[in-house]
Amino acid sequence: MREQEFSDTSERPEDQEMDGSALRFETFAHGGEFADKMPQAIRVTDREGRSSDYVPIKVDGRVVDSKGFTLE
């Protein structure tokens, strides 16, 4: 995967029902720091074919808490 610019909101997946029933979820890039099988990316696709990839925030190659938690 490569880093991409944020897309316009009109290009993002939509879920009119607000319950996820109109969305398809795919996980990929499994693995991680602890060699577990956790997905490192999730692709969400709606019925119209719009999709978006969600990946964890990383600093120096390590996944970090997006709330600003600092490992010491």
Distance of alpha carbon 33 from alpha carbon 21, whole angstroms:
32
| Residues 6+ positions from 48 with CB-CB distance below 8 Å | 14
Domain boundaries along the sequence of the chain: 1-13+23-61
User: Which pTM was predicted?
Assistant: 0.62
Kindly list the averaged pLDDT for each block of 10 residues, start to end, along the chain of length 72.
56 84 88 70 91 85 69 61
